[in-house]
A = this chain, B = another copy of it.
Amino acid sequence: MSLSITFDSDARIASEYSASESIQGHWKSFLQTIDDEAIGFFHVNQRKELLQSCMEVFEKFQSRTQFIQVGIGGSSLGPEMLISALGDNKRQFTFMNNIDPDQLALQLDVLDHSKSLFYIVSKSGGTAETSATMAIIANWLRDKGVEEKDLKNHFVFATDPVKSDLHNLGRELGITCLEIPSNVGGRFSVLTPVGFLPALFAGIDCADLLKGAQDIKKDLLNTNLTENILIKTACYLMSLKDKGYNQTVLMPYSSRLRDLSFWFVQLWAESLGKKHNEKGEVVNTGFTPVPAYGATDQHSQVQLFMEGPYDKTLLLVEVEKFANDFKLESNFSTPSFKKLAPHTLGQLMKAELDGTISALKDADRPHLLIKMPEVSAYYLGQLILTLEALTALTGLMLSINTFDQPGVEAGKRYAFQYLEKMGPAC
Contacts of A308 in B (CB 8 A): 269, 272-274, 284-286, 288
Q: Which of A33-74 contact B (CB under 8 A)?
A: 72-74
Q: Which of A283-299 contact B (CB under 8 A)?
A: 284-286, 288, 290-291, 293-296, 298-299
Contacts of A363 in B (CB 8 A): 407, 410
Q: How far is the CB of A398 from chain B (nearest CB, A)?
A: 11
The interface stretch among A17-25, A123-131, A192-200, A387-395 is A123-131
The interface stretch among A8-16, A93-101, A212-220 is A93-101
Does A346 sit at the interface, judged by CB under 8 A? yes
Q: How far is the CB of A181 from chain B (nearest CB, A)?
A: 19
Q: Complex: how many Å from CA A125 to CA B337?
A: 11
Q: How far is the CB of A348 from chain B (nearest CB, A)?
A: 5
Contact among B168, B309, B425 for A246, CB-based, below 8 A: B309
Contact among B104, B286, B337, B375 for A135, CB-based, below 8 A: B337
CB distance B425 to A344 under 8 Å? yes
Q: Complex: how many Å from CA A354 to CA B413?
A: 11
Q: Complex: how many Å from CA A322 to CA B135?
A: 19
Does A423 sit at the interface, judged by CB under 8 A? yes
Residue of B nearest to A415 (CB): B355
Highest count of chain B CB atoms <10 Å: which of A256, A307, A340: A307
Q: Complex: how many Å from CA A77 to CA B253?
A: 18
Assess A100 versus B256: contact at CB under 8 Å? Given A135-B337, A284-B310.
yes
CB distance B425 to A135 under 8 Å? no
Chain A: residues with CB nearer than 8 A to chain B?
72-74, 76-77, 89, 97-106, 109-110, 125-129, 131-132, 134-136, 138-139, 148, 165-166, 168-169, 172, 186, 246-247, 253-256, 262, 265-266, 269-270, 272-275, 284-286, 288, 290-291, 293-296, 298-312, 322-337, 339-352, 354-356, 358-359, 362-363, 375, 405-408, 410-419, 422-425
